[in-house]
Structure 1
Amino acid sequence: MAAPAVELSGVTKSFGATQIIAGVDLAVPAGERHAIIGPNGAGKSTLFNLISGRLSPTSGTIRLEGADITGQRPAAINRRGLARSFQVTNIFPKLSVWENVRCAVLRAMGYRPIFWRGIEHLPGVAARTAEILDSIRLGHRAAMPAGMLAYAEQRALEIGISIASDARVILLDEPMAGMSHSESEHATALIREVTAGRTLLMVEHDMAVVFGLADRISVLVYGRIIATDTPERIRENRAVQEAYLGVAAA
Protein backbone atom coordinates (compact mmCIF):
# COMPACT_ATOMS: atom_id res chain seq x y z
CA MET A 1 0.00 0.00 0.00
CA ALA A 2 1.32 3.44 -0.91
CA ALA A 3 2.32 5.74 1.92
CA PRO A 4 0.01 8.69 2.64
CA ALA A 5 0.95 11.91 0.88
CA VAL A 6 0.99 13.67 4.26
CA GLU A 7 1.07 11.89 7.61
CA LEU A 8 1.23 13.37 11.10
CA SER A 9 1.78 11.15 14.13
CA GLY A 10 1.44 12.52 17.66
CA VAL A 11 2.37 16.05 16.57
CA THR A 12 2.42 18.71 19.28
CA LYS A 13 3.56 22.33 19.31
CA SER A 14 4.01 24.50 22.36
CA PHE A 15 5.12 28.09 22.74
CA GLY A 16 6.45 28.26 26.27
CA ALA A 17 3.77 26.89 28.57
CA THR A 18 1.04 27.30 25.94
CA GLN A 19 0.24 24.23 23.87
CA ILE A 20 -1.24 25.12 20.46
CA ILE A 21 -1.21 21.68 18.79
CA ALA A 22 -2.09 18.96 21.25
CA GLY A 23 -1.31 15.61 19.66
CA VAL A 24 -2.52 15.50 16.05
CA ASP A 25 -2.72 12.25 14.10
CA LEU A 26 -3.68 12.68 10.44
CA ALA A 27 -3.15 10.73 7.22
CA VAL A 28 -4.01 12.27 3.85
CA PRO A 29 -3.89 9.78 0.94
CA ALA A 30 -2.28 10.77 -2.34
CA GLY A 31 -4.70 12.54 -4.65
CA GLU A 32 -7.19 13.49 -1.93
CA ARG A 33 -8.56 17.00 -1.46
CA HIS A 34 -8.59 17.42 2.31
CA ALA A 35 -9.87 20.46 4.22
CA ILE A 36 -9.01 21.44 7.78
CA ILE A 37 -11.66 23.56 9.46
CA GLY A 38 -12.13 24.91 12.96
CA PRO A 39 -12.82 28.07 14.92
CA ASN A 40 -10.37 30.96 15.11
CA GLY A 41 -7.47 30.07 17.38
CA ALA A 42 -7.86 26.33 16.82
CA GLY A 43 -4.28 26.03 15.52
CA LYS A 44 -4.91 25.60 11.79
CA SER A 45 -2.20 27.96 10.55
CA THR A 46 0.23 26.58 13.13
CA LEU A 47 -0.45 23.09 11.79
CA PHE A 48 0.28 24.30 8.25
CA ASN A 49 3.48 25.95 9.48
CA LEU A 50 4.57 22.63 10.97
CA ILE A 51 3.86 20.65 7.81
CA SER A 52 5.60 23.17 5.53
CA GLY A 53 8.64 23.56 7.79
CA ARG A 54 8.17 27.13 8.99
CA LEU A 55 7.91 25.73 12.52
CA SER A 56 9.36 22.59 14.09
CA PRO A 57 7.08 20.43 16.23
CA THR A 58 7.69 20.08 19.95
CA SER A 59 7.11 16.37 19.54
CA GLY A 60 5.78 13.90 17.00
CA THR A 61 6.59 12.98 13.41
CA ILE A 62 5.64 14.49 10.05
CA ARG A 63 6.06 12.48 6.86
CA LEU A 64 5.74 13.46 3.21
CA GLU A 65 5.10 10.52 0.90
CA GLY A 66 6.65 8.25 3.51
CA ALA A 67 9.81 10.34 4.08
CA ASP A 68 10.38 11.87 7.51
CA ILE A 69 10.44 15.68 7.09
CA THR A 70 10.12 16.57 10.76
CA GLY A 71 11.99 19.80 11.45
CA GLN A 72 13.30 20.20 7.90
CA ARG A 73 13.54 23.70 6.42
CA PRO A 74 10.82 24.90 4.01
CA ALA A 75 13.15 24.87 0.97
CA ALA A 76 14.09 21.25 1.60
CA ILE A 77 10.45 20.25 1.97
CA ASN A 78 9.57 22.13 -1.21
CA ARG A 79 12.24 20.19 -3.11
CA ARG A 80 10.59 17.00 -1.88
CA GLY A 81 7.36 18.01 -3.63
CA LEU A 82 5.30 20.22 -1.30
CA ALA A 83 4.26 23.81 -2.07
CA ARG A 84 2.29 26.19 0.10
CA SER A 85 0.31 29.41 -0.32
CA PHE A 86 -0.35 31.86 2.52
CA GLN A 87 -3.29 33.84 3.91
CA VAL A 88 -1.59 36.99 2.63
CA THR A 89 -0.79 36.88 -1.08
CA ASN A 90 2.90 36.14 -1.57
CA ILE A 91 3.99 37.27 -5.05
CA PHE A 92 6.57 39.63 -6.60
CA PRO A 93 4.36 42.68 -7.23
CA LYS A 94 6.84 44.60 -9.42
CA LEU A 95 7.57 41.67 -11.71
CA SER A 96 5.19 40.81 -14.52
CA VAL A 97 2.75 37.94 -14.19
CA TRP A 98 4.89 36.05 -16.73
CA GLU A 99 8.08 36.65 -14.74
CA ASN A 100 6.47 35.50 -11.48
CA VAL A 101 5.55 32.15 -12.98
CA ARG A 102 8.78 31.85 -14.93
CA CYS A 103 10.82 32.17 -11.72
CA ALA A 104 9.05 29.12 -10.32
CA VAL A 105 9.41 27.24 -13.61
CA LEU A 106 13.15 27.90 -13.73
CA ARG A 107 13.61 26.51 -10.23
CA ALA A 108 11.45 23.47 -10.95
CA MET A 109 13.44 22.71 -14.12
CA GLY A 110 16.72 22.90 -12.22
CA TYR A 111 18.09 26.09 -13.79
CA ARG A 112 20.42 28.23 -11.71
CA PRO A 113 21.61 31.80 -12.38
CA ILE A 114 23.81 31.93 -15.51
CA PHE A 115 24.98 35.47 -16.03
CA TRP A 116 26.38 34.98 -19.52
CA ARG A 117 23.28 33.32 -20.96
CA GLY A 118 19.83 34.83 -21.46
CA ILE A 119 16.90 32.93 -20.00
CA GLU A 120 14.57 33.69 -22.90
CA HIS A 121 15.90 30.77 -24.94
CA LEU A 122 16.27 28.11 -22.26
CA PRO A 123 14.61 24.91 -23.52
CA GLY A 124 11.05 24.40 -22.39
CA VAL A 125 10.83 27.37 -20.02
CA ALA A 126 8.60 29.61 -22.13
CA ALA A 127 6.29 26.77 -23.12
CA ARG A 128 5.86 25.62 -19.51
CA THR A 129 5.28 29.19 -18.30
CA ALA A 130 2.63 29.75 -20.97
CA GLU A 131 0.97 26.43 -20.11
CA ILE A 132 0.64 27.38 -16.44
CA LEU A 133 -0.67 30.87 -17.22
CA ASP A 134 -3.33 29.33 -19.46
CA SER A 135 -4.29 26.83 -16.74
CA ILE A 136 -4.86 29.64 -14.21
CA ARG A 137 -6.56 31.79 -16.89
CA LEU A 138 -4.06 34.63 -16.71
CA GLY A 139 -2.48 34.33 -20.14
CA HIS A 140 -4.04 37.62 -21.15
CA ARG A 141 -2.37 39.29 -18.15
CA ALA A 142 1.13 37.97 -18.82
CA ALA A 143 2.79 41.38 -19.36
CA MET A 144 1.02 43.14 -16.48
CA PRO A 145 2.89 43.85 -13.23
CA ALA A 146 1.58 41.30 -10.73
CA GLY A 147 0.82 44.00 -8.18
CA MET A 148 -1.75 45.50 -10.56
CA LEU A 149 -3.85 42.35 -10.75
CA ALA A 150 -7.22 42.20 -9.04
CA TYR A 151 -7.09 40.45 -5.67
CA ALA A 152 -8.67 37.23 -6.92
CA GLU A 153 -6.24 37.18 -9.85
CA GLN A 154 -3.31 37.56 -7.45
CA ARG A 155 -4.54 34.53 -5.55
CA ALA A 156 -4.81 32.62 -8.82
CA LEU A 157 -1.25 33.67 -9.67
CA GLU A 158 -0.03 32.35 -6.32
CA ILE A 159 -1.67 29.01 -7.07
CA GLY A 160 0.06 29.05 -10.46
CA ILE A 161 3.41 29.63 -8.79
CA SER A 162 2.71 26.66 -6.51
CA ILE A 163 1.89 24.27 -9.33
CA ALA A 164 4.82 25.57 -11.41
CA SER A 165 7.14 23.92 -8.91
CA ASP A 166 5.67 20.55 -9.96
CA ALA A 167 4.66 20.00 -6.34
CA ARG A 168 2.65 16.84 -5.81
CA VAL A 169 1.24 18.17 -2.52
CA ILE A 170 -0.33 21.64 -2.38
CA LEU A 171 -1.17 23.46 0.87
CA LEU A 172 -3.60 26.38 0.50
CA ASP A 173 -4.13 28.60 3.53
CA GLU A 174 -7.53 30.35 3.27
CA PRO A 175 -7.43 30.74 -0.52
CA MET A 176 -10.86 32.43 -0.59
CA ALA A 177 -10.11 35.05 2.08
CA GLY A 178 -11.32 38.47 0.96
CA MET A 179 -13.15 37.21 -2.12
CA SER A 180 -16.71 37.92 -3.15
CA HIS A 181 -19.15 35.05 -3.70
CA SER A 182 -18.62 35.07 -7.48
CA GLU A 183 -14.84 35.25 -7.07
CA SER A 184 -14.96 32.30 -4.68
CA GLU A 185 -16.95 30.25 -7.17
CA HIS A 186 -14.41 31.02 -9.88
CA ALA A 187 -11.48 30.21 -7.56
CA THR A 188 -13.08 26.94 -6.45
CA ALA A 189 -13.41 25.78 -10.04
CA LEU A 190 -9.82 26.80 -10.70
CA ILE A 191 -8.49 24.93 -7.66
CA ARG A 192 -10.45 21.82 -8.60
CA GLU A 193 -8.99 21.95 -12.10
CA VAL A 194 -5.33 22.67 -11.33
CA THR A 195 -5.07 20.24 -8.40
CA ALA A 196 -6.43 17.28 -10.36
CA GLY A 197 -4.04 14.38 -9.76
CA ARG A 198 -2.34 16.18 -6.87
CA THR A 199 -2.91 16.08 -3.12
CA LEU A 200 -4.58 19.21 -1.73
CA LEU A 201 -4.57 20.16 1.94
CA MET A 202 -6.59 23.31 2.54
CA VAL A 203 -7.55 25.58 5.43
CA GLU A 204 -10.71 27.53 4.60
CA HIS A 205 -13.49 29.30 6.50
CA ASP A 206 -16.02 29.40 3.64
CA MET A 207 -18.11 26.32 4.33
CA ALA A 208 -19.70 26.34 0.87
CA VAL A 209 -16.22 26.02 -0.62
CA VAL A 210 -15.14 23.37 1.87
CA PHE A 211 -18.19 21.15 1.41
CA GLY A 212 -18.11 21.60 -2.36
CA LEU A 213 -14.42 20.89 -2.85
CA ALA A 214 -13.11 18.53 -0.17
CA ASP A 215 -13.15 14.74 -0.37
CA ARG A 216 -12.68 14.60 3.39
CA ILE A 217 -12.68 17.15 6.19
CA SER A 218 -10.84 17.25 9.51
CA VAL A 219 -12.13 19.46 12.31
CA LEU A 220 -9.49 21.03 14.56
CA VAL A 221 -10.60 22.40 17.94
CA TYR A 222 -8.15 23.61 20.61
CA GLY A 223 -5.27 21.91 18.84
CA ARG A 224 -6.95 18.51 18.54
CA ILE A 225 -8.72 16.86 15.62
CA ILE A 226 -12.15 15.89 16.89
CA ALA A 227 -13.42 14.34 13.63
CA THR A 228 -12.22 13.34 10.16
CA ASP A 229 -14.81 12.17 7.65
CA THR A 230 -16.61 12.89 4.39
CA PRO A 231 -18.35 16.27 4.03
CA GLU A 232 -21.76 14.64 4.42
CA ARG A 233 -20.86 12.92 7.69
CA ILE A 234 -19.06 15.96 9.06
CA ARG A 235 -22.17 18.03 8.38
CA GLU A 236 -24.26 15.54 10.37
CA ASN A 237 -21.72 15.08 13.22
CA ARG A 238 -23.28 16.53 16.37
CA ALA A 239 -19.95 17.06 18.11
CA VAL A 240 -18.78 19.09 15.13
CA GLN A 241 -22.01 21.08 15.08
CA GLU A 242 -21.63 21.92 18.74
CA ALA A 243 -17.93 22.77 18.49
CA TYR A 244 -17.91 24.73 15.27
CA LEU A 245 -20.64 24.58 12.65
CA GLY A 246 -23.54 25.35 14.96
CA VAL A 247 -27.04 26.00 13.67
CA ALA A 248 -25.80 26.59 10.10
CA ALA A 249 -24.99 22.91 9.76
CA ALA A 250 -28.47 21.68 10.57
Structure 2
Amino acid sequence: MTQPKNPVPALRLSGLEKSFGPMKIIRGIDLDIPAGERHAVIGPNGAGKSTLFHLISGHYQPSGGSVRLHGDDITGMPPQLIARRGLSRSFQVTNLFPQLTVWENVRCATLWALGYKYSFWRNVERLADARQRTEEILREINLIERWNMPAGVLAYAEQRALEIGLAIASNANTLLLDEPMAGMSHGETEHMVELIRKVSENRTLLMIEHDMGVVFDLADRISVLVYGEVIASDTPERIKANASVQQAYLGTEVA
Protein backbone atom coordinates (compact mmCIF):
# COMPACT_ATOMS: atom_id res chain seq x y z
CA MET A 1 0.00 0.00 0.00
CA THR A 2 1.30 3.45 -0.89
CA GLN A 3 2.36 5.46 2.16
CA PRO A 4 1.13 9.07 2.47
CA LYS A 5 3.70 11.65 1.40
CA ASN A 6 3.36 13.68 4.58
CA PRO A 7 2.35 11.39 7.44
CA VAL A 8 1.37 13.07 10.69
CA PRO A 9 4.49 13.49 12.84
CA ALA A 10 4.66 12.17 16.39
CA LEU A 11 5.44 15.70 17.57
CA ARG A 12 4.87 18.98 15.76
CA LEU A 13 6.03 22.26 17.29
CA SER A 14 4.71 25.33 15.50
CA GLY A 15 5.92 28.81 16.37
CA LEU A 16 6.55 27.69 19.95
CA GLU A 17 7.53 30.53 22.29
CA LYS A 18 8.18 31.01 25.99
CA SER A 19 8.94 34.26 27.79
CA PHE A 20 9.52 34.99 31.46
CA GLY A 21 8.64 38.63 31.78
CA PRO A 22 10.63 40.55 29.16
CA MET A 23 13.08 37.65 28.68
CA LYS A 24 12.42 35.39 25.68
CA ILE A 25 13.72 31.88 26.31
CA ILE A 26 12.13 29.98 23.40
CA ARG A 27 11.88 32.03 20.23
CA GLY A 28 9.41 30.60 17.71
CA ILE A 29 10.51 27.00 17.26
CA ASP A 30 9.12 25.03 14.31
CA LEU A 31 10.04 21.34 14.43
CA ASP A 32 8.51 18.07 13.21
CA ILE A 33 9.61 14.75 14.72
CA PRO A 34 8.39 11.74 12.71
CA ALA A 35 6.96 8.73 14.49
CA GLY A 36 9.65 6.20 15.34
CA GLU A 37 12.54 8.65 15.06
CA ARG A 38 15.30 8.98 17.65
CA HIS A 39 15.83 12.72 17.85
CA ALA A 40 18.38 14.56 19.98
CA VAL A 41 18.34 18.20 21.04
CA ILE A 42 21.76 19.65 21.77
CA GLY A 43 23.00 23.12 22.62
CA PRO A 44 25.06 25.08 25.12
CA ASN A 45 23.94 25.63 28.70
CA GLY A 46 21.18 28.22 28.84
CA ALA A 47 20.02 27.52 25.28
CA GLY A 48 16.50 26.64 26.49
CA LYS A 49 16.57 22.85 26.14
CA SER A 50 14.89 22.01 29.45
CA THR A 51 12.39 24.83 28.96
CA LEU A 52 11.49 23.28 25.61
CA PHE A 53 10.85 19.94 27.32
CA HIS A 54 8.73 21.67 29.95
CA LEU A 55 6.59 23.18 27.20
CA ILE A 56 6.12 19.90 25.35
CA SER A 57 5.28 17.91 28.49
CA GLY A 58 2.90 20.49 29.96
CA HIS A 59 4.96 21.70 32.91
CA TYR A 60 5.10 25.20 31.38
CA GLN A 61 2.41 27.09 29.51
CA PRO A 62 3.72 28.47 26.20
CA SER A 63 3.62 32.19 25.50
CA GLY A 64 2.81 31.44 21.88
CA GLY A 65 2.61 28.69 19.29
CA SER A 66 1.38 25.13 19.61
CA VAL A 67 2.38 21.54 20.38
CA ARG A 68 0.72 18.61 18.61
CA LEU A 69 1.08 14.95 19.57
CA HIS A 70 0.15 12.62 16.71
CA GLY A 71 -1.95 15.40 15.26
CA ASP A 72 -3.81 16.27 18.47
CA ASP A 73 -3.34 19.72 19.98
CA ILE A 74 -1.90 19.30 23.50
CA THR A 75 -0.80 22.92 23.92
CA GLY A 76 -1.06 23.95 27.56
CA MET A 77 -2.59 20.68 28.76
CA PRO A 78 -1.56 19.57 32.27
CA PRO A 79 1.19 16.93 32.38
CA GLN A 80 -1.06 14.09 33.56
CA LEU A 81 -3.42 14.49 30.61
CA ILE A 82 -0.53 14.64 28.16
CA ALA A 83 0.90 11.45 29.73
CA ARG A 84 -2.43 9.68 29.20
CA ARG A 85 -2.22 10.56 25.52
CA GLY A 86 1.03 8.63 25.21
CA LEU A 87 3.89 11.01 26.05
CA SER A 88 6.14 10.20 29.00
CA ARG A 89 9.11 12.13 30.32
CA SER A 90 12.14 11.61 32.54
CA PHE A 91 13.92 14.48 34.30
CA GLN A 92 17.56 15.48 34.90
CA VAL A 93 17.12 14.52 38.56
CA THR A 94 15.73 11.06 39.29
CA ASN A 95 12.07 11.15 40.25
CA LEU A 96 11.25 7.91 42.08
CA PHE A 97 9.49 6.69 45.24
CA PRO A 98 12.69 5.91 47.19
CA GLN A 99 10.99 3.99 50.04
CA LEU A 100 9.06 1.69 47.70
CA THR A 101 10.71 -1.32 46.14
CA VAL A 102 11.75 -1.44 42.51
CA TRP A 103 8.77 -3.73 41.88
CA GLU A 104 6.32 -1.38 43.60
CA ASN A 105 7.59 1.66 41.67
CA VAL A 106 7.02 -0.01 38.32
CA ARG A 107 3.72 -1.58 39.34
CA CYS A 108 2.36 1.82 40.36
CA ALA A 109 3.18 3.11 36.90
CA THR A 110 1.46 0.19 35.15
CA LEU A 111 -1.88 0.40 36.97
CA TRP A 112 -3.36 3.39 35.15
CA ALA A 113 -2.19 2.10 31.78
CA LEU A 114 -4.02 -1.15 32.49
CA GLY A 115 -7.22 0.71 33.29
CA TYR A 116 -7.18 0.52 37.09
CA LYS A 117 -8.44 3.65 38.84
CA TYR A 118 -7.95 4.62 42.48
CA SER A 119 -9.59 2.15 44.86
CA PHE A 120 -9.11 1.44 48.55
CA TRP A 121 -10.82 -1.94 48.26
CA ARG A 122 -8.89 -3.66 45.48
CA ASN A 123 -6.03 -5.96 46.49
CA VAL A 124 -3.28 -5.00 44.09
CA GLU A 125 -1.39 -8.24 44.78
CA ARG A 126 -4.15 -10.17 43.01
CA LEU A 127 -3.92 -8.25 39.75
CA ALA A 128 -2.29 -10.82 37.47
CA ASP A 129 -2.01 -8.47 34.48
CA ALA A 130 -0.24 -5.79 36.55
CA ARG A 131 2.12 -8.42 37.93
CA GLN A 132 2.91 -9.73 34.45
CA ARG A 133 3.47 -6.27 32.97
CA THR A 134 5.70 -5.24 35.91
CA GLU A 135 7.87 -8.31 35.44
CA GLU A 136 8.15 -7.68 31.69
CA ILE A 137 9.36 -4.12 32.25
CA LEU A 138 11.87 -5.10 34.93
CA ARG A 139 13.35 -7.68 32.58
CA GLU A 140 13.45 -5.13 29.76
CA ILE A 141 15.41 -2.63 31.89
CA ASN A 142 17.61 -5.36 33.43
CA LEU A 143 16.44 -4.82 37.02
CA ILE A 144 14.56 -8.05 37.66
CA GLU A 145 17.30 -9.15 40.09
CA ARG A 146 16.73 -5.95 42.10
CA TRP A 147 12.95 -6.29 42.25
CA ASN A 148 12.69 -6.33 46.06
CA MET A 149 15.18 -3.56 46.81
CA PRO A 150 14.05 -0.07 47.86
CA ALA A 151 14.52 2.25 44.88
CA GLY A 152 16.46 4.69 47.05
CA VAL A 153 19.36 2.29 47.62
CA LEU A 154 19.95 1.45 43.96
CA ALA A 155 23.13 2.62 42.29
CA TYR A 156 22.72 5.88 40.40
CA ALA A 157 22.74 4.23 36.95
CA GLU A 158 20.16 1.70 38.13
CA GLN A 159 17.91 4.51 39.36
CA ARG A 160 18.12 6.12 35.92
CA ALA A 161 17.23 2.78 34.33
CA LEU A 162 14.27 2.44 36.71
CA GLU A 163 13.08 5.91 35.76
CA ILE A 164 13.08 4.84 32.11
CA GLY A 165 11.09 1.78 33.19
CA LEU A 166 8.49 4.08 34.74
CA ALA A 167 8.37 6.07 31.51
CA ILE A 168 7.56 3.02 29.38
CA ALA A 169 5.24 1.42 31.96
CA SER A 170 2.43 3.75 30.92
CA ASN A 171 2.53 2.34 27.36
CA ALA A 172 3.89 5.67 26.13
CA ASN A 173 4.62 5.83 22.42
CA THR A 174 6.69 9.02 22.74
CA LEU A 175 9.55 9.32 25.24
CA LEU A 176 11.27 12.51 26.39
CA LEU A 177 14.57 11.82 28.16
CA ASP A 178 16.36 14.76 29.76
CA GLU A 179 20.13 14.11 30.01
CA PRO A 180 19.84 10.36 30.72
CA MET A 181 23.65 9.94 30.81
CA ALA A 182 24.35 12.77 33.27
CA GLY A 183 26.71 11.73 36.05
CA MET A 184 27.49 8.28 34.64
CA SER A 185 30.83 6.59 34.15
CA HIS A 186 31.93 5.43 30.70
CA GLY A 187 30.83 1.85 31.41
CA GLU A 188 27.47 2.95 32.81
CA THR A 189 26.93 5.16 29.76
CA GLU A 190 27.52 2.22 27.42
CA HIS A 191 24.90 0.15 29.24
CA MET A 192 22.43 3.05 29.23
CA VAL A 193 22.88 3.61 25.49
CA GLU A 194 21.98 0.00 24.80
CA LEU A 195 18.99 0.22 27.15
CA ILE A 196 17.69 3.36 25.44
CA ARG A 197 18.24 1.80 22.04
CA LYS A 198 16.18 -1.20 23.12
CA VAL A 199 13.28 0.61 24.82
CA SER A 200 12.97 3.18 22.02
CA GLU A 201 12.32 0.55 19.37
CA ASN A 202 8.84 1.16 17.91
CA ARG A 203 8.65 4.40 19.92
CA THR A 204 9.50 8.02 19.23
CA LEU A 205 12.43 9.33 21.26
CA LEU A 206 13.25 12.98 21.95
CA MET A 207 16.40 13.32 24.04
CA ILE A 208 18.49 16.12 25.54
CA GLU A 209 22.08 15.00 25.94
CA HIS A 210 25.50 16.66 26.33
CA ASP A 211 27.58 13.57 25.55
CA MET A 212 28.25 14.00 21.84
CA GLY A 213 29.41 10.41 21.45
CA VAL A 214 26.04 9.23 22.70
CA VAL A 215 24.15 11.73 20.54
CA PHE A 216 25.90 10.76 17.32
CA ASP A 217 25.57 7.07 18.15
CA LEU A 218 21.85 7.07 19.02
CA ALA A 219 20.15 9.85 17.10
CA ASP A 220 18.62 9.55 13.65
CA ARG A 221 18.41 13.34 13.55
CA ILE A 222 19.77 16.18 15.69
CA SER A 223 18.43 19.66 16.35
CA VAL A 224 20.80 22.34 17.64
CA LEU A 225 19.25 24.92 19.98
CA VAL A 226 21.05 28.21 20.57
CA TYR A 227 19.49 31.13 22.45
CA GLY A 228 16.03 29.61 22.11
CA GLU A 229 16.20 29.06 18.37
CA VAL A 230 16.86 25.94 16.29
CA ILE A 231 19.84 26.87 14.10
CA ALA A 232 20.07 23.44 12.43
CA SER A 233 18.13 20.19 12.28
CA ASP A 234 19.62 17.37 10.27
CA THR A 235 21.31 13.97 10.27
CA PRO A 236 24.32 13.46 12.56
CA GLU A 237 26.71 13.49 9.60
CA ARG A 238 25.41 16.82 8.31
CA ILE A 239 25.32 18.34 11.78
CA LYS A 240 28.98 17.43 12.24
CA ALA A 241 29.81 19.18 8.97
CA ASN A 242 27.68 22.27 9.62
CA ALA A 243 29.97 25.28 10.07
CA SER A 244 27.37 27.26 12.04
CA VAL A 245 26.94 24.38 14.49
CA GLN A 246 30.69 24.00 14.91
CA GLN A 247 31.06 27.69 15.68
CA ALA A 248 28.06 27.87 18.02
CA TYR A 249 28.49 24.65 19.95
CA LEU A 250 30.44 21.61 18.81
CA GLY A 251 33.87 23.10 18.34
CA THR A 252 36.35 22.38 15.58
CA GLU A 253 37.74 19.29 17.30
CA VAL A 254 34.44 17.47 16.81
CA ALA A 255 34.39 18.35 13.13
**Contact 1:12/1:23, CA 8 A, preserved across alignment:** yes
Deviations 1:122-149 (A, max 9, x none): 1311110000000000000000000000
TM-score for both structures, normalised by structure 2: 0.97
| From 226, 237, 245, the counterpart of 1:240 | 245
Task: Give the gaps of 5 or more residues in structure 2.
Answer: none
Whole-angstrom CA distance in 2 between matches of 1:215 and 1:125: 33
CA–CA separation in structure 1 for the residues paired with 2:59 and 2:253: 34
Q: Which residue matches 1:186?
A: 191
Aligned counterpart, 1:118: 123
> What is the root-mean-square deviation of aligned Cα atoms in Å?
0.7
Please tell me whether residue 89 in structure 1 is matched to residue 98 in structure 2: no
Secondary structure of 2:95 counterpart? coil
Aligned to 1:140: 145
1:75 — aligned with what? 80
Determine whether 1:206 maps to 2:222: no
Secondary structure of residue in 2 paired with 1:49: helix
Give the superposition deviation at 1:248.
Answer: 2.6
Please tell me whether residue 30 in structure 1 is matched to residue 2 in structure 2. no
Instruction: Give 1:173's aligned residue.
Output: 178
SS, match of residue 124 in structure 1 = helix
Equivalent position amino acid for 1:236 in 2: A
AA in 2 matched with 1:135:
E
Is the Cα contact below 8 Å between 1:100 and 1:161 reproduced in 2? yes
> Quick one: which of 168, 178, 181 aligns to 1:163?
168
Equivalent residue number for residue 8 of structure 1 = 13
Asked if structure 2 preserves the Cα contact closer than 8 Å seen for 1:21 and 1:224, the reply is yes
1:12-53 superposed Cα distances (whole Å, 9 cap, x missing partner)? 100000000011000000000000000000000000000000
Cα deviation for residue 115 of structure 1 reads 2.1
Instruction: Tell me the matched-pair count.
Output: 250
Identity %: 66
